[in-house]
Amino acid sequence: MPFLMVTLPWACSERGATLPSTPQTGAEVFAVACARCHGPDGRGGGAAAVFGSAAPDLTRPGLKVTYADRPALIELLKEGRGQMPPHRGRLSPEDLEKVGAFVAEHVLK
């Protein structure tokens, strides 16, 4: 009997998993922790899209306004929301700051 393994859309980031190595930049943290759901460019084309439940397109104009405040963005990354799991404990405070800066400067443009 064939075995099919799937990743559920809401499980884009394994709870309790840690990064395999210490990323040096926010782009590296994004690639490891976020791109699987949000896609490599933040437009929502990650693995979750295969299941019809893509993560939000982070380049949408409204998100820039909503998360223009960096502390609000960091809080969202820590606590998660909706299908996005919390990254507190998975990402160090330094990595949360790195990916928050990357998203604010390069994705939410």
Would you state the CATH architecture of domain 24-107? Orthogonal Bundle (1.10)
3-state SS class at 81: strand
- C-alpha–C-alpha distance, residues 18 and 25, integer Å: 16
User: Is residue 23 very low, low, confident or very high in pLDDT (cuts 50, 70, 90)?
Assistant: low
Higher pLDDT, 66 or 2: 66
State pLDDT tens for residues 38-56: 889 888 888 766 666 668 8
**Claim: this prediction has a pTM higher than 0.95:** no
Alpha-carbon distance of 86 to 10, in angstroms, equals 11
Tell whether the model's pLDDT for residue 70 goes beyond 90: no
Q: What distance in Å separates the CA atoms of residue 60 and residue 102, rounded to the nearest whole number? A: 16
**What is the distance between the alpha carbons of residues 48 and 108, in angstroms, rounded to a whole number?**
20
| Res. 10: pLDDT tops 50 | no
Region 17-34: what's the mean pLDDT?
Answer: 78
